[in-house]
Amino acid sequence: MIPTQISLKQKGAGSVEYTPIKALNTFSTDWKIKGRIVSKTDKKITSKSLSLLKITLIDKDDSLIDATFFNEAADFFDCQIQDKKVYLFSNGNVKIANKKFTSTKNDFCIVFEKNASIVPVDDDGSIAA
Interval 75-106: pLDDT, tens: 999 999 999 999 999 999 999 999 888 889 99
pTM of the predicted protein model: 0.86
How does pLDDT run across 48-71, given as a tens digit for each residue?
Answer: 899 999 999 999 999 999 999 999
Which residues have CB under 8 Å from 86's CB, separation 6+? 34, 35, 36, 120, 121, 122, 123, 124, 127
For 33-120, CATH number?
2.40.50.140
DSSP 22: G
Give every CB contact of residue 2 below 8 A, 6+ residues apart in sequence: 25, 27, 28
